[in-house]
């Protein structure tokens, strides 16, 4: 069950993390001009 | 409504012993991350305008129809979702959402804009509404000890869906059109690239949402979290142990007070979201130029998206500790003060402006994510999904009212992107009043009168097929 939980969270967590990182990179331009 | 295939039946989704409730949030996220794409339509908007040789307004209708259908289908289908369970709802949502993309792709390929309205707007919009409410009552039943945390996790996914879809769509269109550069705001992808993007998203979202549909389970009737004592719930006056049906809920003043609360909170948030990019440039304008560049303004929009998403999880989880009514006093009361500060001293410093706007947007997200738990507290878990669906009409109404209020004030002042901070003050101060109305509505919320309670406090929505004794349903291990 632990493996299934880890897989399920990774499946949704990795794309979400990618989206957050991409957005933060874009948001960085607010502070760098 | 035709009978469901056996593999979708609610009784086939009752969790067996050993099933972990921590599988439910990723199942819910799988659906919400996909349908959250609806807020990433700006990525291909210009490409569709060029492809159809149309206007931004005409293409903008695709998004507007989808949001209106979201509100309508959530309201109309809420009872069906509660009765048939999360797997059937997620399955239906996946089929509608995916079909919406495929029909939309056909519309792009054939040059028929009306097919995109029908596909993405109407069919996809139905998928949005069913998908949005599909995991809510199930999460609340699995997390009776932390309903705010549970719904916050799922509804955070809706905010996060656009964060994922936006860069992925840009990359895919670069792949399908070698002349397109997603980093160049002047570059426009071909219609063929958008058509292939729609086909790709339709297939990928179908697979992803099916993962959610076949992972989700409902708890057995006698299940409760280890170490959790339901009697603790009774000690809180604003948390009921009774059950109120969706039909009765819309006869209570509490439903309409919460409708006003959600409407005001969303209207105020949209007030900033709608004009975020030109607003920050106008607030720091010196003559014809602004201290904030277009790229930095784009970064500001990204930061607001993160604040909106984070607020859904953080504030909704916090509501489990401080209570639902107090957290809405914060969203609306503190939000009101922050909005006033934004209008009066926001132009003094960019950092202050960004901070104020980010906190206001976190309250906007928090308001969305906490409302299902607030409904659970007042009406019980019995038909909370259906009640939530009906309440989401406030979202659709605010989606019209928020931009109307802001645009009406700004149109009288000039063109956004060429204004100063003073021009925004009437619109922002109006939002202060809107939040004040919501604050008063929240203050008036009291427990639901006993005459609206169900006589036998059913634990689950009943269907014709569910007349057998409680717990008689098959478990799927």
Q: Is B161 within the bounds of a domain?
A: yes
DSSP secondary structure of B246-273: HHHHTTSHHHHHHHHHHHHHHHHHHHHH
**CATH code, domain with B152:** 1.20.1250.20
Q: How confident is the model at residue B463 (pLDDT cuts 50, 70, 90)?
A: very low
Beta carbons of B354 and A23 less than 8 Å apart = no
Residues in chain A with CB shorter than 8 Å from the CB of B166 are 19, 22-23
Q: How far is A3 from chain B (nearest CA, A)?
A: 11
| B318-349 residue pLDDT tens | 999 999 999 999 999 999 999 999 999 998 99
Count of CB pairs separated by less than 8 Å, A with B: 84
Between B17-21, B177-181, B409-413, the lowest mean confidence (pLDDT) is in B409-413
B86 within 8 A of B209, measured Cβ to Cβ:
no
Region class of B184: left (phi > 0), else alpha (psi between -120 and 50), else beta:
beta
Interface contact B26-A12, CB threshold 8 A: yes
Q: Do B303 and A30 touch (CB under 8 A)?
A: yes
Q: Which residue of B has its CA nearest to A14?
A: B164
Going by pLDDT thresholds of 50, 70 and 90, the confidence category of residue B466 is: very low
What is the rounded distance in angstroms from the CA atom of residue B429 to the CA atom of residue B366?
A: 22
Report yes or no on B374 lying in a domain.
yes
Give the C-alpha separation, B357 to B355, whole Å: 6
Measured CA distances, A2 to A9, B59, B217, B302, B312 (Å): 11, 46, 17, 34, 26
Specify the range with the lowest mean pLDDT, choosing from B19-33, B177-191, B447-461. B447-461
Angle at B167 between CA B165 and CA B170, to 5 degrees: 100
Q: Is it the case that residue B30 has pLDDT exceeding 70?
A: yes
Number of Cα atoms under 13 Å in the Cβ half of residue B435: 28
pLDDT score of B152: 93
Could you tell me what percent of chain B has a pLDDT over 90? 55
Across the interface, whether the CB atoms of B164 and A16 are under 8 A apart is answered: yes
Residue B6 lies in a domain: no
Please give the share of chain B, as a percent, with pLDDT higher than 70.
Answer: 94
**Among candidates B22, B29, B167 on the partner chain, residue whose Cβ is nearest the Cβ of A19:** B167
List of chain B residues whose C-beta atoms are within 8 Å of the C-beta of residue A20: 160, 163, 306, 309
Q: Which residues in chain B touch residue A6, judged by CB atoms under 8 angstroms apart? A: none
Pairwise CB contact (< 8 Å): A30 & B299:
yes
Banded pLDDT at B2 (limits 50, 70, 90): low
Using one digit for the tens of pLDDT, what is the confidence trace for B190-244?
999 999 999 999 999 999 999 999 999 999 988 888 887 777 665 677 788 788 9
Q: From the centroid of its chain, how far is CA B398?
A: 13
**B476 occurs within a structural domain:** no
pLDDT at B469 exceeding the cut of 50: no
CB B435 within 8 A of CB B339: yes
pLDDT at B467: 33
| pTM more than 0.95 | no
Residue B57 in contact with residue B91, Cβ under 8 Å? no
Q: Which residues pair with B388 in a beta bridge?
A: none
**Token pair for residue B259?**
């409708």
Question: Is B1 among the domain residues?
Answer: no
Residue B127, pLDDT above cutoff 50? yes
- pLDDT attached to residue A33: 56
Kindly tell me the sign of the dihedral angle through the C-alpha atoms of B417, B186, B194, B211. negative
- The number of distinct structural domains making up chain B is 1
Contacts of residue B198, Cβ cutoff 8 Å, sequence gap at least 6:
B101, B102, B104, B105, B108, B120
- pLDDT at position B184, please? 77
Would you tell me how many other CB atoms lie within 10 Å of the CB of residue B455? 7
Outline where B226-380 has alpha helix (H).
231-234, 246-249, 253-273, 276-283, 294-322, 324-329, 335-345, 350-379
Contacts of A31 in chain B (CB under 8 A): 296, 299
Cβ atoms < 10 Å from Cβ of B1 = 6
| Residue in chain A nearest B23 by alpha carbon | A5
Say what the pLDDT of residue B464 is.
38
Q: Which residue of B has its CA nearest to A22?
A: B167
Provide the angle, in degrees to the nearest 10, between the axes of the packed helices A2-27 and B24-35. Answer: 40
Q: What is the pLDDT of residue B472?
A: 32
Q: Which residue of A has its CA nearest to B308?
A: A20
Residue of chain B whose alpha carbon sits nearest to that of A25 = B299
Residue A9: per-residue pLDDT: 96
Report the pLDDT value the prediction gives residue B258, as an integer from 0 to 100: 97
Q: How far is B350 from chain A (nearest CA, A)?
A: 10
Q: How many CB atoms lie under 10 A from the CB of residue B339?
A: 27
**Which residues of chain B lie closer than 8 angstroms to A27, CB-CB?**
299-300, 302-303, 306
Domain that holds residue B97: 21-221+234-467
Give just the sign of the alpha carbon dihedral B147, B217, B70, B100. positive
* Partners of residue B15 on adjacent β-strands: B476
Segment (H or E) for B425: helix B421-443
3-class DSSP state for residue B101?
helix
Is residue B182 a contact partner of residue B60, using CB atoms and an 8 Å limit? Answer: no
The per-residue pLDDT for B230 is 73
CA distance B156 to B138: 16
Give a yes or no: residue B361 inside a domain. Answer: yes
Examine residue B439 and state whether it is found in any structural domain, yes or no: yes
Per CB distance under 8 Å, which residues of A are interface residues toward B? 1, 4-5, 8-9, 11-13, 15-16, 18-20, 22-24, 26-33
Dihedral of alpha carbons B385, B389, B390, B394, sign: positive
> Half-sphere exposure of B468 toward its Cβ, with a 13 Å CA cutoff?
7
- Helices B24-35 + B147-176 axis angle, to 10: 40
Residue B34 lies in a domain: yes
CB B133 within 8 A of CB B74: yes
pLDDT beyond 80 at B256: yes
Mutation target to probe the A interface, by most A beta carbons within 10 A, among B19, B21, B29, B292 is B29
């Amino acid at each position: 069950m632990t493996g299934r939980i880890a897989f399920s969270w990774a499946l949704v967590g990795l794309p979400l993390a990618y989206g957050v990182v991409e957005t933060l990179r874009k948001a960085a331009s607010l502070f760098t001009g | 409504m035709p009978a469901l295939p056996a593999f979708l039946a609610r009784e086939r989704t009752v969790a067996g012993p050993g099933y972990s409730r921590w599988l439910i949030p990723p199942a819910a996220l799988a659906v919400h991350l996909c349908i959250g794409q609806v807020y990433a339509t700006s990525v291909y908007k210009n490409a569709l305008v060029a492809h159809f040789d149309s206007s931004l307004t005409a293409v903008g209708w695709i998004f507007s129809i989808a949001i209106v259908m979201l509100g309508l289908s959530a309201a109309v289908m809420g009872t069906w979702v509660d009765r048939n369970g999360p797997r059937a709802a997620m399955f239906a949502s996946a089929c509608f959402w995916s079909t919406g993309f495929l029909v939309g792709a056909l519309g792009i390929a054939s040059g028929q804009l009306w097919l995109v309205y029908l596909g993405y707007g109407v069919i996809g919009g139905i998928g949005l509404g069913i998908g949005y409410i599909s995991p809510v009552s199930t999460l609340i039943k699995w997390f009776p000890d932390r309903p705010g945390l549970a719904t916050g996790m799922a509804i955070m996914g809706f905010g996060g869906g656009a964060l994922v879809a936006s860069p992925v769509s840009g990359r895919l269109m670069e792949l399908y059109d070698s002349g397109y550069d997603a980093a160049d705001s002047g570059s426009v992808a071909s219609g063929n690239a958008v058509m292939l993007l729609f086909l790709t998203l339709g297939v990928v979202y179908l697979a992803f949402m099916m993962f959610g549909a076949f992972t989700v389970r409902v708890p057995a009737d006698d299940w409760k979290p280890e170490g959790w004592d339901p009697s603790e719930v009774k000690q809180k006056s604003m948390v009921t142990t009774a059950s109120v049906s969706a039909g009765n809920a819309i006869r209570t003043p509490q439903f309409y007070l919460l409708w006003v609360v959600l409407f005001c909170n969303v209207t105020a948030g949209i007030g900033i979201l709608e004009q975020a990019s030109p607003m920050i440039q106008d607030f720091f304008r010196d003559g014809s130029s602004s201290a904030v560049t277009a790229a930095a303004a784009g970064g500001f929009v990204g930061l607001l998206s993160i604040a909106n998403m984070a607020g859904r999880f953080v504030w909704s989880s916090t509501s489990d500790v401080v209570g639902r009514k107090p957290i809405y006093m914060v969203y609306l009361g503190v939000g009101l003060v922050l909005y006033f500060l934004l209008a009066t001293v926001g132009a003094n410093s960019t950092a202050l402006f960004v901070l104020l706007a980010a906190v206001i947007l976190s309250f906007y997200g928090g308001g969305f994510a906490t409302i299902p738990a607030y409904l659970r507290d007042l009406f019980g878990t019995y038909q909370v999904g259906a009640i939530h669906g009906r309440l989401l009409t406030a979202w659709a109404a605010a989606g019209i009212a928020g931009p109307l209020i802001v645009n009406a004030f700004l149109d009288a002042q000039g063109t956004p992107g060429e204004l100063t901070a003073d021009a925004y003050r009437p619109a922002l101060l109006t939002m202060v009043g809107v939040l004040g109305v919501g604050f008063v509505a929240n203050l008036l919320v009291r427990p639901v009168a006993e005459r609206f309670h169900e006589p036998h406090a059913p634990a689950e929505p009943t269907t014709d097929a569910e007349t057998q004794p409680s717990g008689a349903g098959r478990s799927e291990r």
